[in-house]
């Protein structure tokens, strides 16, 4: 009922879209209980919406038959679930031990100088959000970071800035 009402009013965030549901159901066979889908659902919704709003939390709770507080407790626990809006691309800068030794602070300073953002901030044009991330498993090629889904290795401030140029068309095929 609530869903029909919400749809009627055009509150699209209050229920899960057919595509979101389909993706969640595809994961369902991997788990013996539906409440186990909570993390999968959060990830899937975030893929579709960019982040997980209060409405999205409520929609997931409703769909899986969980309490909203229960879903929120899970959502706020995990690093890769965003409870605030982020830019179109997230820069995950590794600030763990080897990257620290080999210059991640200089990368952070350069991003701040170029894009005007520090950890937790989004650039004015909404393109980039900068977040710290724990060791990316790239320590043999430190300092490292990820932009979206892609790992980048052996960086220095200049090679980092080259990565931040607007992507030419046809790139990012992965």
Partner 1 sequence: MERPLTQHLKPDGSALTLAEYRDLGGYTAWKTALDGMAPDEVVTRVKDANLRGRGGAGFPTGVKWSLVPRGEGAPHPKYMVANADEMEPGAFKDRLLLERHPHQLLEGLMLAAYAIEADVAYVFLRGEYVDAARRLRSAIGEAYAAGLLGEHILGSDYSLQLHLHISAGRYICGEETALINALEGKRATPRAKPPFPQISGAWGQPTVVNNVETLCNVPHIIRHGSDWHQGLGLGEESGTKLFGVSGRVCRPGAWELPMGTPIREILEGCAGGMREGYQLKGFLPGGGSTDFLLPEHLDLPMTYESIGKAGSRMGTGTLIVLDDRTCPVGMVLNLERFFAQESCGWCTPCRDGLPWTRQLLEAIESGQGRHEDLDTLAEHCRFMGPGKTFCALAPGAMEPLQSALKHFRSDFERHIEEHSCPYRSSLS
- Which of 1-9, 11-19, 135-143, 158-166 is the region at the interface with partner 1 (rule: CB under 8 A)? 135-143
Contacts with ligand FES, residue ranges (CB under 6 A): 94, 96-99, 135-139, 142, 144
Query: What does each C-alpha distance from 47 to 42, 54, 72, 73 come to in angstroms?
Result: 9, 16, 17, 19
Q: Which of 18, 65, 125, 149 binds partner 1 (CB under 8 A)?
A: 149
Binding mask 13-52 for partner 1 (x = CB under 8 A): -----------------xxxx-xxxxxx-xx---------
β-pairing, 128-133 vs 145-147, is unpaired
User: Which alpha helices (H) appear in the chain, and where do they start and end?
Assistant: 2-8, 18-28, 38-49, 54-64, 68-77, 97-101, 104-115, 157-163
C-beta of 86 vs 135, nearer to partner 1 = 135
State yes or no: residue 107 binds partner 1 (CB under 8 A).
no
β-pairing, 89-94 vs 128-133, is parallel
C-beta of 66 vs 136, nearer to ligand FES = 136
- Given partner 1, ligand FES, none, residue 31, with its beta carbon under 5 to 8 Å by kind, binds partner 1
**How many angstroms separate the CA atoms of 19 and 45, rounded?**
10
For residues 3-20, b (16+ Cβ closer than 10 Å) or e, as one string?
eeebeeeeeebbbbeeeb
Q: Which of 68, 86, 139, 164 binds partner 1 (CB under 8 A)?
A: 139
Shortest separation between residue 152's beta carbon and partner 1, angstroms: 12
DSSP lists the bridge partners of residue 152 as 145
**How many angstroms separate the CA atoms of 4 and 10, rounded?**
10
C-beta of 43 vs 141, nearer to ligand FES = 141
Sites of contact with partner 1 (CB under 8 A): 30-33, 35-40, 42-43, 73-74, 77-81, 92, 95-98, 100-102, 133-142, 146, 149-151
């Amino acid at each position: 009922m609530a869903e029909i009402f919400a749809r009627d009013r055009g509150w699209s965030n209050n229920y899960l879209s057919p595509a979101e549901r389909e993706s969640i159901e595809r994961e369902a066979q991997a788990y013996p209980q539906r409440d186990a889908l909570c993390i999968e659902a959060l990830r899937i919704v975030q893929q579709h919406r960019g982040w997980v709003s209060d409405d999205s939390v409520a929609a997931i709770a409703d769909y899986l038959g969980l309490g909203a507080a229960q879903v929120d407790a899970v959502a706020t626990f995990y690093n890769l679930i965003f409870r605030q809006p982020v830019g179109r691309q997230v820069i995950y800068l590794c600030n763990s031990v080897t990257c620290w030794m080999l210059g991640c602070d200089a990368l952070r300073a350069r991003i701040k100088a170029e894009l005007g953002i520090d950890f937790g901030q989004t650039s004015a044009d909404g393109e980039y959000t900068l977040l710290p991330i724990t060791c990316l498993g790239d320590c043999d090629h430190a300092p490292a970071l990820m932009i979206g889904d892609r790992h980048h290795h052996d960086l220095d401030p200049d090679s980092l800035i080259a990565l931040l140029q607007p992507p030419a068309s046809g790139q990012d095929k992965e």
